Amino acid sequence: MTHPTPRALVLVAGGTNCDRETILALERAGAAAERIHIQSLIDSPDKIFQYDLAVIPGGFTYGDDVAAGKILAIQIQHRLGDPFREFAASGRPILGICNGFQVLVKAGLLPDLAKEQKPQSVTLTSNDCGRFVCRWVRLKSCSPLSIFSAPGTHIEMPVAHAEGKLVAPPQVIEDLKLAKQIAYVYSDNTNPNGSIDDIAGLCDPTGHILGLMPHPERNVSWHHHPLWFRKTRLQKTSPCERAGEGMGIFQNMIQHCREKIS
Amino acid sequence: MTQTCQIEISMRAQWRSPEILPVRAALEQEKKIDKSEIRFVQVYMLEGNLSSSQIQRAAQELFTDPILHDFRIDEPFDFFGTRGRTITIARLPGVMDPAEGSILRALSDLSIDATRVRRARKYHFLDFPSDLDLSEFAAHHLANPLIEELTEGNCLGNAFPPSKTYTFRRIDIPLEGLSHSELESLSQQMGLALDGLEMSTIQQHFQSLGRAPTDAELETLAQTWSEHCKHKTLTGPIDFDGERIENLLRETVAKATRTLNCDWLVSVFVDNAGIIEFDSKHSLAIKVETHNHPSALEPYGGAGTGTGGVIRDILGCGLGARPILATDVFCVGPLETLQNEVPSGCHPPRRILREVVAGVRDYGNRMGIPTVSGAVHEHPSFLANPLVFCGTVGLMPTWAATKKIHPGDRIVVAGGRTGRDGIHGATFSSQRLDSESEVVSSGAVQIGDPITEKKVLDALLEARDLRLYSSLTDCGAGGLSSAIGEMGEQLGAEVHLDQVPLKYSGLSYDEIWISEAQERMVLAVPPDQMESLEAVFRRHEVEATDLGHFADHGKLQLFYEGQQVCDLEMSFLHDGLPQPLRVATHPQTPPSSETPTSYPKNDNKLLLGILGTTGVASKEWIIRQYDHEVQGRTVLGPLVGSALDGPSDATVVLPIDGSLRGAAIACGGNPHLGQLDPYQMAAHAVDEALRNVVSVGADPDRICILDNFSWADTRRPEELGSLVLAARACHDTALAYRTPFVSGKDSLNNEFLTESGVRIAIPPTLIITSLGIVPDASRTISMDWKSAEDRVYLIGSTKPGLGGSHLHLKCGITGGSVPILDPKKARQIFLAVYEAIQTGLLASCHDLSEGGLAVAAAESALAGRLGAQLDLSVLEQETGLDVTTLLWSESPSRFLVSCPPESARSFETLFSRLKIPHHLLGKVTRGDSLQIRDSSGSPRIQLTLESVREAWQGRLEVLN
């Protein structure tokens, strides 16, 4: 028996703070989303299999102490390693946004959870400016593997992070490019953090695990884009008719689940 | 066996360590040519029963990033050999480090049983400049000796000092027979900040009881009677040049609210925040706090806990509201001031501003609350007394706006643990600072732990919706003593202090009672809900502890290990405070330096100069460090315009998902007017706060405001006199605008006494925060020009008087008169602007404030990346004012709007019908040039947008 509406697990821990708007975006895209605390998942790990997809939203889990996302990554690795691997291996989409991306990378779920001998091959570290940055960027979708966006799609959304610079040894970057795992790059000179080769997001080799620094859930509504006024008033359309460009990522993920369950 | 180890982590040389950037900037600032190579090392010290393989795993799996770092265990990095020098910095034992808890948590997930953890950081320098003292350099730029220990070299004394133990002993303080002056010196010695009259009132009270007070009783009275908690100046009797004022607050600010009697006010002046109706089911709570003295001593911790504190005010008003946005206003000394130019005991303004921004950033961002509105003011008199205002707005279901405690309700403290931090904050903030404050008040400094507060928020709102508690308040100044004392005012309370969870042992009952440890809330919980409440908090990993109960006996009773240590009548605690008559007199305006008959003719240069002043210049450096987009509610953010770098007048958010009803937030205030005319200063602040929200579309009939008075020592009759005048202006303008005050907060002792006895007093400073309803947020407009050919109009009347203007500031003129506000006319103007926005006539709307018309035009141009051709000749003829006044006047109640050509006729018809002054100045142009001509036809302003933007944007880069 499958669910008519895909069920989304939104994983939270102390310091998660984008769960509310992520749930709203998921619901608007057609999922039934539930906020689940990491501790209740540790208490009953099998719960994860009640869901068709998982999202780790943005925030400052455990205060970003030691390094952003590190402590939640350790909890996932050491308390929930097997269920997470099984969940991912079953083809269910996993999306990590901002802090969630940092978690996926540091837990070794991205870029490739199959390579177990080297659990972490890339990292996300302090922005070049040394400070937290909140600004709008332009993304270009690059990977034909990704179920989240068609290659060549341009999407605008904001970043809000202090540790978003993607860094890896040159060979790893080359391998990721060859494997088409660079999911998004910052385009039009909007790289906000000094990421190598403007990388903003990565997917795994199957294309259904995605991590990205910018926040798609902050561009799903008419008013989210800061230039909505110019775009609509000048075109004499009602502003409220527009949905944000970030919505596509959620819709594609949910569509993928629907096709899979039906 | 317990042992300790030291793990060092260092970024490999090929990567950039972010910790190095500020060190390089500091070295440059000291004007040394920086050839020095710098390496940063993060140190983690662990204590526990640890095997060497566990230590290895901790280093490898938790502390090290395999891509970036190298690590060492019990062996310090040595990068530079004999040419190297090292400074090691760690928080003093007992000073909060929120990372410790997270690290212990992660270690336990790795099955590593550490009992304690402590962090330190090291900076290694190669060839550190020999003429610079390393320790002094570090104390000035890298650390704050008030909360941190600095050691030159690699070793840190004792990583884990043995914990202290406490053996209970009740302490009585005999007052009998002490003279007035002996009582005063006892108060000073104990840090109570009670004056002789208050002390002798307490003496008499205990004499009548036939016993001596305990230390806890004296402390409770000192906290409750402090200026910080009781606002005794604003609520006590005043003789104002022979005129008697019984209660200034009640007769001015609160009176306006009472007279207006707006039916959309839900709760005003009685709770931790003001609450107004938002829609039929929801209400908005708003509060703005000052956190001046703590921020002067420890800017990062002070501003952070200021933010944390005002968020708790919102969590603790009614039955709790969800914070949806935050605001901040900073007042600092001139940013050019160097370390050796500030009075001993003070930090230079640049460091203060950089660190207060970081404090607000780290608290607000981690809480997931967008900081969306604010201002920065610069004035020489803020040098030793910077001001920090932090505000929060929260959303709540209207049923949660009221609370009531029942006898028998359990007293529950929830959140962070109690430590020795922040002792005497309430009494300290009520005193003047001096060069010794840094030494004697170190306990008054607090460090915040936003993640704990975020967990409290999550747990609290869940418990609220399950209706598991009947009342709550936050632990702020005065700690448990104020929180429980206030909550139990009508009933009585019995508290067992030995039950309070502690960060470390060794605290006396008295310290537990008055500690201002952060992130704590006090709840009143019906006994039959205790179990459910505890379950909710446990699920969110928040401690909630039963301390006792509220009892119907009218007493505050404290116990430690079963022994009574306090037995105070609630009536004496809350109503026993003596009411001395305070003397106020009309302040004299400062001697006016000669007002020049002619001003400098180069208006281009003036405009570029004014655009580069701290008050006017772009705040992008600050705003981008704040997560102003989190929660996804923003309709109009703090940065607007085609390249998102223009200064929005106000911010608009959508509190309810799926509804178009918006809330606009902004502030007003201009410290440069305070010394010239405190009445007009306050009136202008109200006007500015209102016109900011009106210019983005707020309904003038649905705006509430908050006051924050920051004054110098009001024991001086002139200072108190200016406070009376400002409060009266608040009353008069609020009434005329039909805009109620809903809450406020004052800070009245902002002076500094230098070592040589020089008094530095701040100018009278009133910050007004406005919260307005935007009925249809899709009608909101921004301040940037949108299209070439759009018509540009000036709305409102320009009046003579350039006193306190940025023109005078630039020309070094201190005197002059302040333009007089006409609040009745202003209200009509606001209503007309509202109607124009509602009917979609305007393409942009920008208020005129610092720098007047010239600055407003420059800002609208640079934000829209469009030029303009404006002409003042009609304005000159009609007003009879000179071009200098027209360009630079900061007359209130004015807007610069642009209007598409096809709407211009409707706009003019509307404004003529409403009899609102409006002048067509010219039109927006596609070019790259801003031109303002006078009646002679020659351009007074002729600048490229590029030069305008450059002047405006660079100012805060000095903070890098």
Rounded (to 5) percent helix, strand, coil in chain A = 35, 25, 40
pLDDT score for B441: 46
Sign of the torsion formed by the C-alpha atoms of B89, B425, B331 and B751 = negative
Q: How far is A262 from chain B (nearest CA, A)?
A: 30
Consecutive H or E run containing B287: strand B282-290
Catalytic residue list contains A129? no
Which ipTM was obtained for this model?
0.94
pLDDT at A2 over 70: no
User: For residues B376 and A43, what is the distance between their CA atoms, to the nearest angstrom?
Assistant: 49
pLDDT in tens, B811-850: 988 888 999 999 999 999 999 999 999 999 999 999 999 9
Which amino acid belongs to residue B376?
V
* A102: pLDDT strictly greater than 90: yes
The predicted model gives B570-594 an average pLDDT of 85
The pLDDT, as a whole number, for residue B440 is 45
**What was the pLDDT predicted at A24?**
95
User: Which member of B140, B228, B918, B919 is catalytic?
Assistant: B228
| pLDDT value, residue B954 | 87
- The chain B residue lying nearest A170, using CA atoms, is B67
Instruction: Please report, for chain B, the start and end positions of each structural domain, with discontinuous segments joined by +.
Output: 3-152, 781-960
**Beta-strand runs (E) in B379-519:** 387-397, 410-415, 433-434, 471-474, 493-496
Whether the pLDDT of residue A238 is over 80: the answer is no
**DSSP output for B69-83:** EEEEESS---SSGGG
Kind and range of the H or E run holding B904: helix B901-913
CB B43 within 8 Å of CB B121:
yes
Q: Is a pLDDT exceeding 70 seen at residue B152? A: yes
All residues of chain B having their beta carbon less than 8 Å from the beta carbon of residue A24 are 632, 657
Written as six digits, the tokens of A88 are 């991912």
The Cα-based distances of B578 to A144, B53, B200, B236, B544 in angstroms read 77, 66, 10, 9, 37
Instruction: Of B815, B865, B812, give the one whose Cα is nearest residue B645.
Output: B865
Going through B362-401 in order, the beta strands assigned E by DSSP cover 371-378, 387-397
Per-residue pLDDT tens digits for B279-306: 999 999 999 999 988 889 899 999 999 9
The reply to whether B496 belongs to the active site is no
Q: Which of B110, B539, B642 sits opposite A74 (nearest CB)?
A: B110
Indicate which residue of A98, A142, A203, A257 is catalytic: A98
Chosen for mutation from A16, A39, A61, A66 (greatest number of chain B CBs closer than 10 Å) is A66
Alpha-carbon gap, residue B63 to A70, rounded angstroms: 9
pLDDT tens, position by position, A65-86: 999 999 999 999 999 999 999 9
Determine whether the interchain pair A120/B66 forms a contact, defined as Cβ–Cβ distance below 8 Å: yes
- Six token digits for residue B910: 């509307």
Q: What is the mean pLDDT of residues B7-15?
A: 92
Decide which of B960 and B305 is more confident.
Answer: B305
Using DSSP's 3-state secondary structure scheme, residue B771 falls into strand
Name chain A contacts of B110, Cβ cutoff 8 Å.
74, 78
> A39–B541: do the CB atoms touch at under 8 Å?
yes
Nearest-CA neighbor of A168 among A176, A156, A179?
A176
Q: Would the CB atoms of A234 and B787 count as touching at under 8 Å?
A: yes
pLDDT value at residue B27: 86
Is residue B163 classed exposed, middle or buried when 0-12, 13-18 and 19+ CB atoms within 10 A define those classes? exposed
Pairing status of strand A154-161 against strand B662-668: unpaired
Q: What's the pLDDT at A208?
A: 94
> Could you say which of 3.50.50.60, 3.90.1150.10, 3.40.50.880, 3.40.50.300 is the CATH number of the domain covering A7-261?
3.40.50.880
Confidence of residue B438 (pLDDT cuts 50, 70, 90): very low
Q: Report pLDDT for B218.
A: 94
Percentage above 70 pLDDT, chain B: 96
Q: What is the 3-state composition of chain B as percent helix, strand, coil, each rounded to the nearest 5?
A: 35, 25, 40
Helices within B787-900 (DSSP H only): 806-811, 823-838, 852-864, 873-879, 883-888
Choice between B21 and A154, residue whose per-residue pLDDT is larger: A154
Rounded CA-CA distance A45/B774 in Å is 46
Task: Give the pLDDT confidence of B777-818 residue by residue, as tens digits.
Answer: 999 999 999 999 999 999 999 999 999 999 999 998 888 899
Q: Residue B645 corresponds to which tokens in the numbers above?
A: 């770098």
Chain A residues within an 8 Å CB radius of B838:
none
What are the tens digits of pLDDT across the range B890-933? Answer: 999 999 999 999 999 999 999 999 999 999 999 999 988 999 99
Q: Which of A27, A78, A106, A131 to mutate to test the interface with B (most CBs of B within 10 A)?
A: A131
Look-up of token digits 């007199």 = B585
Instruction: Check residue B185 and give its pLDDT.
Output: 93
Total Cβ atoms within 10 A of residue A188: 12
Tell me the backbone φ, ψ of residue A248, rounded to 5 degrees: -55, -40
**No. of H helices and E strands in chain A?**
8, 11
In this structure, whether the domain defined by B781-960 belongs to CATH 3.90.650.10 is answered with yes
User: What pLDDT is stored for residue B3 in this prediction?
Assistant: 87
Contact state of B106 with A70 under an 8 Å Cβ cutoff: yes
d(CA B512, CA B478): 11
pLDDT of A117 over the 70 cut: no
Q: Of the ranges B162-166, B365-369, B766-770, B868-872, which one carries the lowest mean pLDDT score?
A: B162-166
Distance between CA B313 and CA B738 in Å, rounded?
26
State the distance between the two ends of chain B, measured CA to CA, in whole angstroms.
47
Distance from CA of A176 to the nearest CA of B (A): 16
Count the Cβ atoms, other than its own, within 10 Å of residue A153. Answer: 17
Give chain A positions within 8 Å (CB) of B361: 132
Among the partner residues B63, B625, B781, nearest to A131 by beta-carbon distance = B625
The yes-or-no answer on residue A98 being catalytic is: yes
User: First CA to last CA across chain A, in angstroms?
Assistant: 9
The span from the CA of B192 to the CA of B206, in Å, is: 17
Query: Could you tell me which CATH number the domain at B3-152 has?
Result: 3.30.1280.10
The percentage of chain A sitting over the pLDDT mark of 90, rounded to a whole number, equals: 83
Tokens for B844, please give them.
């942009």
Does residue B370 surpass a pLDDT of 70?
yes
Mean pLDDT value across chain B: 92
pLDDT at B221 over 60: yes
b/e sequence A33-52, b meaning 16+ C-beta within 10 Å = bebbbbbebbeebeebeebb
Dmax over Cα atoms in chain B, in whole Å?
A: 90
| Phi/psi of residue B669, nearest 5 degrees | 160, 145
Asked whether residue B435 carries a pLDDT value surpassing 70, the answer given is no
Segment among B488-497, B593-602, B656-665 with least mean pLDDT: B593-602
State yes or no: pLDDT of B742 exceeds 60: yes
Is the CB of residue B95 less than 8 Å from the CB of residue B147?
A: yes
Per-residue pLDDT band at B426 (split at 50, 70, 90): low
> Quick one: B927 exposed, middle or buried, by C-beta within 10 A (0-12, 13-18, 19+)?
middle
**B84-88, B445-449, B802-806: lowest mean pLDDT where?**
B445-449
pLDDT digits (tens, 9 = 90+) for B631-654: 999 999 999 999 999 999 999 999
